[in-house]
Structure 1
Amino acid sequence: MNDQKANYPDVPIVYEDNHVLGVSKPVNIPSQEDASGDADMLTILKDDIKVRYNKPGNVYLGLVHRLDRPVGGAMVFAKTSKAASRLSESVRSRSFRKLYAAIVHGKPKQPSGRLVDSLYKDSRSNTVRVVSKGTEGSKEAILDYTVLETQNGMSLVLVELHTGRPHQIRVQLSHAGWPLYGDQRYGNGLNKAGQQIALWSVFVGFPHPVSKEEIRIESMPPTLHPWNLFPSGRLIREIKNY
């Protein structure tokens, strides 16, 4: 993509038409502007569209869903307000499908299963924790997981999100006893400073906001440690068959 500023990272475009923009988000970039003041996905992509299409004035781009700053992979934006409204409805109706790959410490006892928890977000510390069902301010969090492979005390896990709570995968897997590799916040004591969290958005699927055709945005994790410990073939097959 064309960068308007030299310090903007390259953001690979996976899918684009007049209504939708699907990209592969690099790690350590905020989804939208935050207190850090660092370049964020919305700003980077708006500037890119402005340059590529030589658009005067402000560029519209709607944030449909978020990825935590340290998480990379498939991400979708709306290029019109109508598309934003319809994609948001897809999220609410759960026809907006999200699949993640994660590398966790340990091995789940069951090869697959469902985790259902009540999560509470502490806005002051920007942390999330599992609480008792019915706790004031808590929200239900649901995910399905499948263990693809285990070796060297770690497991490659495929996670399908059914709700989109902040830090959901990180908190639920840690609470179950399988904290993510590199997660300093929810895997304290197991991970070392400087390690990159091993969580990647590998697939986003949704009905096109206008044509209703099924759109698939796919992104594979980098071939870096610890991802390179696990052959990519099984993960690729699972994504294609999803």
Structure 2
Amino acid sequence: MMSQHLQGTGDIPILFEDNHLLGITKPVNVPTQEDASGDPDLLTLLKQDLKERYNKPGNVYLGLVHRLDRPVGGAMIFAKTSKAASRLSETVRGRHFRKIYAAVVHGKLPAQQGTLKHTLLKDGSTNTVTVVPQGTVGGKDAVLDYQVIGETDRYSLVHIELHTGRSHQIRVQMKEIGCPLFGDQKYGASMNKPGQQIALWSAIAAFPHPVTKEEIVLQSLPPREFPWAEWPAAVYDKAFKAEH
């Protein structure tokens, strides 16, 4: 892991960088790409940083390979060449890109570990996703594995591995089983207070390097603040260990 930070971008940690890739820890509440809010977005900030750090004239290429919802932080990878972007996108489509998240949810899950399978339908006009019967027109299968790695009286800390990359997938599937994410204003408003930060974090992103084929593992652990700090750091270190 690199301890280097990007300059002029709100102190974004670099997890990995070479001629082909840029891996960073996404800050919470920063949109991945430009949206209607007009707020500074990650893609623009990173392009500007590359332009300044490498003194590049003209436009800088940076390919968006996967996304994180605006309130979610953690490990993300970007492609610095179009070839790397194309190959990484193929890795994502072929489901050879591992995405592991940490989440704090309300209540206790039905089992200590399991697999959730639902069909999800997105309403683009409201940017919301709902669970619908299988076979519904426009519905997409959503699959994740979960493991409970910590519990308190009110909350559960969950290790989640996505097998599909549907919009708002973890948030909707956890709500569907009665365990909405802490701080989720969209899918758990009745159980959360306005202003609370959603407790969902991209802990590990792992994939074969698009050029060298070496296994790249990016690890980013959530901040030591409530509700994450309800469990000791050792719990996270063990559950989200970056293994090559």
Shift of 1:109: 2.3
Give structure 2 stretches of 5+ with no counterpart. Answer: 1-5
1:27 and 2:32 correspond: no
Partner of 1:54: 55
Distance 1:241 1:201 in 2: 12
Structure 1 spans left out of the alignment, 5+ residues: none
TM-score, with length taken from structure 2: 0.96
CA distance in 1, matches of 2:103, 2:241: 17
Q: Residues 129-158 of structure 1: CA distance to partner in whole angstroms, max 9, x if unpaired?
A: 000001001100000000001103100001
Partner of 2:184: 183
Taking structure 1 as the reference length, the TM-score comes to: 0.97
Q: Distance in 2 between matches of 1:71 and 1:146?
A: 20
Distance in structure 2 (CA, Å) of the matches to 1:232 and 1:64: 30
Task: Read off the aligned partner of 1:118 and give its amino acid letter.
Answer: T
For these two proteins, the number of residue pairs brought into alignment is 238
SS of match in other structure, 2:240: helix
Partner of 1:119: 120
Deviation digits for residues 184-214 of structure 1 (CA, Å, limit 9, x no counterpart): 1100210000100000000000000000000
Following superposition of structure 1 onto structure 2, how do residues 1-242 of structure 1 map, counting pairs within 5 Å?
1-3=6-8, 8-240=9-241
Provide the secondary structure at the position in 2 that maps to 1:196: coil
Partners of 2:111 and 2:7 lie apart in 1 by 46
Query: What CA distance in whole angstroms lies between the structure 1 residues aligned with 2:64 and 2:204?
Result: 17
Distance 1:193 1:181 in 2: 11
Letter in 2 for 1:228: A
Equivalent AA in structure 1 for residue 209 of structure 2: H
Q: Supply the AA of the counterpart residue of 1:92.
A: R
Q: Is the 8 A contact 2:171 2:187 kept in 1?
A: yes
**Alpha-carbon contact 2:15-2:219 (below 8 Å) kept:** yes
The sequence identity of aligned pairs, in percent, is 61
Superposition deviation, residue 11 in structure 1: 1.1
* Alignment root-mean-square deviation, CA: 0.9
Aligned-partner residue type, residue 7 of structure 2: N
Q: Quick one: which amino acid aligns to residue 70 of structure 1?
A: P
Separation of aligned partners in 2, 1:97 and 1:147 = 19
Residue 3 of structure 2 corresponds to: none
| 2:124 maps to amino acid | S
Structure 1 position 238, deviation (Å): 1.9
- Give the match's secondary structure for 1:240: coil
SS at match of 1:74: strand
Q: Partner amino acid for 1:142?
A: V
Separation in 2 of the partners of 1:10 and 1:227?
21
SS at match of 1:216: strand
